[in-house]
Amino acid sequence: MVKNLILCIASMAVFLGCPYQDSGDDDTVNGYGECDSCCPEAPACDDCCEECDSCDSCCEECDPCDSCCPEPIPECDFVEVAAGENFSCGRHADGTVECWGDEPDVLDNIPVYTFTVITAGRRHMCGLGADGLAICWGNNDMGQTNVHQEDWHFIAIAAGEDHTCALRDNHRMECWGLSWDGQYESDLGQFAFLAAGYGYQCNVDVDGTAACWGEDTAGETLPPEGTFVQMDAGSSQTCAIQSDGEVACWGNGGDPPTGIFKQVSVGSDHACVLWWGGVPLCWGDDTYGQVTDMPVPAQNFTQISAGHDHTCAVRGNSCVECWGRNDHGQASPPE
């Protein structure tokens, strides 16, 4: 007990800036304890923090580092995340992209480019630059990365399972990749937003109404009436934020929550929304915890992306956190 009291007195000294000098005894600090390795002559708390490993090893119950040093602040700068099947990618504040997981065609071919937006398909990625140029990479077995672009300036882009669609600045749509089910046509109208699903396409018209076409297995191409401000599509479910902030979904995915939301994202068989306060709420298939295994505290998120069987989101501190299936590292973002 005496030794513990002495050690605590020593740790309090460190907390106050380690104001005491070493007594000269090689085995003590100020004649107290056994922490020469972490408290040399009058170190500041920052110096003590740098030696926390040795502090932990010698100061056991009364660790001066724990007493004077706050938790390190994460150094993150992500502004957007996009989740695919076995991978995820994040866009840094400088526009560069970093990916993790196990999709070699994606991870090994990240373009050196400054992106303003990114989108993930099942096994491919796409993005836009400030100049309106569309760039895609990853799996290309259906031509989903063969960008169709002439002298057009794209203003939006959406990657689906095996196809990609982008919106020109005249609000006409261009698509490439698989179209066996007619999931894209360039002469269907003028659109404000795009959502690419698994074998189908849903868009928000310039007047705010929704239009869908392509494969329909559960009503995912049958939107309700109303006007919408944001939309996303998954394997057999489509969801959109209505003009009043409520979320509406159609297809096979369960009933969405009620409330006022700022974003919706649809994965393979689950979907997520963000409240205006940055709190995520997910529903649907939860086989791998992609719905319920959220990090704590589940708040202060600025953007969310529902992948195939996992979910990723960007916190207010610009770090990415993911939950759900992680057998390929797709839910293990860089720290």
Q: Residue 183 has what pLDDT? A: 65
Does domain 78-324 fall under CATH 3.90.420.10? My reply is no
User: Is the pLDDT at 67 greater than 60, yes or no?
Assistant: no
Amino acid letter, residue 24: G
Tell me how far apart the alpha carbons of residues 175 and 192 are, in angstroms, rounded to a whole number.
15
User: Is the pLDDT at 22 greater than 90, yes or no?
Assistant: no
Residue for token pair 């995520």: 280
Tell me how far apart the alpha carbons of residues 18 and 234 are, in angstroms, rounded to a whole number.
57
For the segment 95-109, the average pLDDT, to the nearest whole number, is 98
- Cβ neighbors of 125 (< 8 A, separation 6 or more) are 82, 84, 89, 97, 99, 106, 118, 119, 136, 137, 138, 159
Least confident range from 34-43, 216-225, 255-264, 304-313: namely: 34-43
For the segment 230-253, the average pLDDT, to the nearest whole number, is 97
Q: Residue 179 has what pLDDT? A: 86
For the segment 25-43, the average pLDDT, to the nearest whole number, is 41
Tell me how far apart the alpha carbons of residues 315 and 312 are, in angstroms, rounded to a whole number.
10
Three-state SS string across 56-106, please? HHHCCCCCHHHHHCCCCCCCCCEEEEEECCCEEEEEECCCCEEEEECCHHH
Tell me the pLDDT tens digit for each residue of 130-182: 999 999 999 999 999 999 888 889 999 999 999 999 999 999 999 999 986 66
The helix/strand/coil state of 281 is strand
User: Is the pLDDT at 226 greater than 80, yes or no?
Assistant: yes
pTM of model > 0.85: no
Q: Residue 2 has what pLDDT? A: 38
Q: Are 298 and 54 in contact (CB under 8 A)?
A: no
Question: Mean pLDDT over all residues of the chain?
Answer: 83
Query: Of residues 31 and 80, which shows the higher confidence score?
Result: 80
**Confidence band (pLDDT; 50, 70, 90) for 73?**
low
Tell me how far apart the alpha carbons of residues 110 and 144 are, in angstroms, rounded to a whole number.
16
Q: Residue 75 has what pLDDT? A: 86
Pairing mode of beta strands 310-315, 320-324: antiparallel
Tell me how far apart the alpha carbons of residues 146 and 126 are, in angstroms, rounded to a whole number.
10
Domain range annotation of the chain = 2-68, 78-324
Least confident range from 51-65, 202-216, 258-272, 290-304: namely: 51-65
Q: Residue 53 has what pLDDT? A: 47
Least confident range from 35-44, 168-177, 214-223: namely: 35-44
Q: Residue 182 has what pLDDT? A: 66
CA 158 to each of CA 175, 219, 233, 287: distance values in angstroms, whole numbers, following the listed order? 9, 20, 10, 26
User: Is the pLDDT at 117 greater than 70, yes or no?
Assistant: yes
% of residues, the chain, pLDDT over 70: 76
For the segment 261-267, the average pLDDT, to the nearest whole number, is 97
**Confidence band (pLDDT; 50, 70, 90) for 335?**
confident
For the segment 91-95, the average pLDDT, to the nearest whole number, is 98
Amino acid letter, residue 183: Q
Least confident range from 50-54, 229-233, 248-252: namely: 50-54
Could you please report the per-residue DSSP string of 162-218? SEEEEEETTS-EEEEE--TT----TTS--EEEEEE-SSEEEEEETTS-EEEEE--SS
